[in-house]
């Protein structure tokens, strides 16, 4: 279930940005909830705006703080920091999933921890911050959310290329090569993919996405995280 008003207050305090309760509620409303509640407004327009704010803030930060990096390396780092996987990690770190308003179907299929939903909601919250608090406050929010990824070089590398990072970690720890099994569901125009990654014949993590690659990357990052914590 979505967070209570008390826990929502904890989220507001953490974000440290002045966003009206109604706009924050909108930012936390997934389209599945809107569909099941008479077509109320949902967060996709805010997500569209937040994506732009996020990209600009990260681009400017990387440009200013890395004068020795060329365009190609800057582009790689930006792509990793604004990826769905990275944003989902940010969302999990701040407990965003428990605040999202989801439809029953998404609730029953683990929507609160789906990387795509988490990442989209982060962008919507950034968009809401821009609307109510302005560009400077929204940029500051982006940097507060993203900087923890930069302080952990291993995490940064894993978010950039989780499949390679998992393969290297598995090799170092003698677990063999990762193997992926992917299934899909839904109509051709709106397929969802589910990946399971195994090591030594044992399933270690799962991931979802809108493409086979995204699902495998999500599973790989979860597996890398679990292995890193256990070693």
Q: Quick: pLDDT tens for 175-218.
A: 999 999 999 988 887 788 999 999 999 999 988 887 898 889 88
Does the structure show a pLDDT above 90 at 122? yes
If asked whether residues 105 and 216 sit together in one domain, one would say no
Determine whether the annotation assigns residue 222 to a binding site: no
> 123 labelled as ligand-binding?
yes
Considering the domain architecture, whether residues 148 and 189 belong to the same structural domain is answered as: no
Domain coverage including residue 218: 162-230
Which pLDDT band, with edges at 50, 70 and 90, does 7 fall under? low
pTM strictly above 0.95: no
Angle between helices 135-150 and 84-93 (to 10 degrees): 90
Same domain, yes or no, for 35 and 100?
yes
On whether 203 is known to bind a ligand per the annotation, the reply is: no
**Quick one: average pLDDT of 155-176?**
84
In this prediction, residue 60 has a pLDDT band, given cuts at 50, 70 and 90, of very high
Q: Is 51 a catalytic residue?
A: yes
- The count of structural domains within the chain is 2
Mean pLDDT of 13-33: 92
Q: What is the CATH number of the domain that holds 118?
A: 1.10.1520.10
Same domain, 128 and 108: yes
Mean pLDDT of 160-184: 91
Q: Region 169-174: what's the mean pLDDT?
A: 92
Is 16 in the same domain as 92? Answer: yes
What distance in Å separates the CA atoms of residue 87 and residue 207, rounded to the nearest whole number?
15
Do residues 145 and 129 both lie within one domain? yes
The active-site residue out of 51, 89, 107, 222 is 51
Active site residue 70: no
Please tell me which residue in 25, 106, 123, 216 is annotated as part of the active site: 123
Q: Does 206 lie in the same domain as 97?
A: no
- The reply to whether 153 and 210 lie within a common domain is no
Cβ density class 198-208: b for 16+ within 10 Å, e for less: bbeeeebbbbb
CATH number for the domain including 169? Answer: 3.30.160.20
């Amino acid at each position: 279930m979505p967070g209570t008003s008390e826990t929502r207050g904890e989220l507001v305090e953490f974000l440290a940005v002045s966003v009206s309760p109604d706009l924050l509620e909108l930012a936390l409303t997934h389209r599945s909830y809107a569909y099941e509640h008479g077509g109320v407004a949902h967060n996709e327009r805010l997500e569209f705006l937040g994506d732009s704010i996020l990209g600009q803030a990260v681009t400017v930060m990387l440009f200013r703080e890395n004068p020795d990096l060329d365009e190609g390396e800057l582009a790689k780092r930006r792509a990793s920091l604004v990826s769905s996987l990275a944003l989902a990690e940010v969302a999990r770190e701040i407990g965003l999933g428990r605040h999202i308003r989801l439809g029953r179907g998404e609730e029953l299929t683990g929507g609160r921890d789906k990387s795509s939903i988490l990442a989209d909601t982060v962008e919507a919250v950034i968009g809401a911050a821009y609307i109510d608090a302005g560009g400077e406050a929204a940029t500051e929010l982006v940097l507060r959310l993203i900087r923890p990824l930069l302080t952990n070089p291993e995490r940064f590398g894993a978010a950039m290329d989780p499949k390679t990072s998992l393969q290297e970690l598995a090799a170092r720890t003698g677990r063999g090569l990762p193997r992926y099994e992917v299934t899909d569901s839904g109509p051709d125009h709106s397929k969802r993919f589910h990946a399971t990654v195994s090591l030594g014949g044992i399933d270690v993590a799962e991931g979802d996405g809108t493409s086979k690659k995204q699902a495998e990357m999500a599973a790989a990052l979860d597996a890398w995280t679990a292995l890193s914590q256990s070693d």
